[in-house]
Amino acid sequence: MASSLFESYTSGMDNQDQLSAAARYLAQSFTPAVSHTITSIKIQGSKSGTGSPTMTIYWNVYLADANGKPTGAALCSGSCLGSAFSTYSAFSVAEITLGAGSLLTASAKYIIVANCPEATGSKVIYWKMDATSPAYAGGNHLVSTDSGATWTLSTAKDFYFEDWGTLAPITLTPSGIAQAQAVGTPKLTLVLSPTGLSQAIAYGAPVVEIIIIPVYPAPIRKVLITHPALKTVTVVKNGETQASYENLSNLDESRIEGSIELPVSPPAKLLVETLSGEIFTFDIPT
């Protein structure tokens, strides 16, 4: 599945902080609006000094404690060389992959921590930041000068960061209260209205509504799928394709389809592909 951008702060970059000693750590906290698996981050940075291109910078994602500081073991980790960034005073954006990534829960606070054991006063890695009018409400700048033993928070600064990842498949479960469940994460509760309408709440994902009405005899269900740009919808039952709706949106033909309504005989599985190439799986219960 293609990765998507979730949390980010990329505007107003007018200053930078630096990794200039082994014990100096830099960090940015953030708060996801939607549960997802973070798989990579993008950072705007720079390097300076002989030997800086071959230095290794380590990037780790931690859960934040009640005081907004890193706690516990790293949830996922990655690294890059100084050569990933432009030479100071130019800045460039580099992507750092985070291995298998980690599931992040909506509304919880997490922290991206950077350190470079080879950094010195003459071999420096810079991380671009907004130090004048930071506007990211979900987190802030942190710095440690003792390898992360203690931290100083500053709400007057925000680093440049991008949080990239994927949404887990969404499953509608057969119960009086339908639930969309990302694997391994707390459930998102979807309350059925008296008309039997349920709605999956997930930013960036298609919305699937199951509408139980007399027009469709049981167990046929009327299913409405909405998204800004649907590409294909496939209905699979017992491992076999029952129906396929293709080429719903086509940029070459200046055609964008935002919704499709179809009858489904549950239990069945919906494979919904958006124009961006992402594929989402929905299980339609009995």
Check whether residue 228 and residue 123 sit in a common domain.
Answer: no
- Average pLDDT value over all residues in the chain: 83
Residues 159 and 198 in one domain: no
CATH number of domain containing 126 = 2.60.120
Whether 234 and 103 share a structural domain: no
Higher pLDDT, 78 or 238: 78
Number of separate domains in the chain: 2
d(CA 281, CA 48): 46
CA atoms within 13 A on the CB side of 259: 7
- Per-residue confidence (pLDDT) for residue 156, from 0 to 100: 97
Q: What is the pTM of this model?
A: 0.64
Weakest-pLDDT range from 20-29, 113-122, 163-172 = 163-172
**Per-residue pLDDT for 47 more than 60?**
yes
Residue 196 maps to which CATH number? 2.60.40
Examine the domain organization and report whether 12 and 150 are in the same domain.
yes
Per-residue pLDDT at 168: 57
Residue 209, pLDDT score: 67
pLDDT(202) > 60: no
Same domain, 233 and 245: yes
Last residue of a domain, one of 110, 132, 166: 166
119 and 254 belong to one structural domain: no
Does residue 209 contact residue 282 with C-beta atoms inside 8 Å? no
Please give the pLDDT value at position 56.
98
pLDDT at residue 249 in the model: 85
- The reply to whether 122 and 37 lie within a common domain is yes
Range of the domain at 58: 4-166
Give the side-chain half-sphere CA count within 13 A for 170: 30
Whether residues 234 and 179 share a domain: the answer is: yes
pLDDT at position 92 over 90: yes
The pLDDT, as a whole number, for residue 109 is: 97
The answer, yes or no, to whether residue 191 has pLDDT greater than 60, is no
